[in-house]
Amino acid sequence: MPPIAFQRWRDLLFVHWRVSPAALRPLVPPSLTLDLCDRIAWVTLIPFEIAESRPAAWPRRLAHRFLEVNLRTYVRGPDGEPGIYFWSLDTSSPIAVAGARLLYGLPYFPASMAMDRAGGHVAYHSQRRIGPPAELHVDWTVGAALGTAAAGSIDHFLVERYQLYVSRARLIFRARVRHRPYPLHEASVSHLSETLLRAAGIPAPAEAPLLHFSPGVDVNIFPPHRVRAHRQ
C-alpha cells in the first residue's frame, strides 16, 4: 500500500529517561506490552520541526510547516512487533491536531511554540493551549556527528522505531512510517524544564537523561490498520 503523507522532520532532540516498568504499566493500554531494554522501560521527549507536511499526492508548494513535541514510550503490539506509544503530541498546527486526531486517534494538542537557532545552539519553547496544562523549555547545543545507530545498541533501540500503536474504542491500530536511519549527533542541554511527563501521569525521573540529536530525515507515512494478536 502506498504512503498517504510525506513529511520532513528536522532538528530533533531526543531526551530519554529510564523509568520503572511498574510506574508505566498502568499508563499504557493493557493489550500493549512494554518493550524493555535490560528490564528497564524508557520514556522519550522529542521537540522538533516538521519542515514540510503534505498528503502524498499534493505538490510541495501546498505543504505546511510547524513545530511538534511528542512524548512516547516503547511497546510491542498484539502482533508482537516493536513500536511506540504516545501519551501526547503537542503542535503549533491546528490542521495537524484535527487531522491526526480524526484519522489516527492520536492525542494531539494545540500549543503555542517557538524554536530559535543560532549556529549549533537551539532554544525551544512550547505551552499547551487546550488539554492538561503542559510546558517545555529546553536549550541545547549540537555536538559531534556519531553516524547512525548500530544494530543491537541502546541508541538503535530508542531511536530507530518505524511504527506507532494507538488504542481506539478498545481496539489497537498500527501505523507505519518509513525513512532512512537517523544521522545522529551528540547533544548537550544547558536548560530543561517541562511538565509534559507530569501531565501524562509519569513520575519524575531520578536520573539525568540520555540525549541524541538528529538534523532530520524525510518520512513516508502510511495509513492505520487494526492489529490482531497472532494465533498460537
All structural domains of the chain, each given as residue ranges with its CATH number in brackets, are: 5-226 (2.40.400.10)
Q: Given a cut of 70, is residue 231 above it in pLDDT?
A: no
pLDDT band at 230 (very low <50, low <70, confident <90, very high): low
pTM: 0.94
Cβ-contact 74, 161 below 8 angstroms: yes
pLDDT for 62-79, tens place per residue? 888 999 999 999 999 998
pLDDT tens-digit series, residues 7-24? 999 999 999 999 999 999
Cell 524554536 sits at which residue? 115
pLDDT band at 3 (very low <50, low <70, confident <90, very high): very high
What pLDDT score does 60 carry?
84
Neighbours of 18 (CB within 10 A): 16
Q: Please give the Cα distance from 179 to 177 (Å, whole number).
A: 7
The pLDDT value recorded for residue 58 is 86
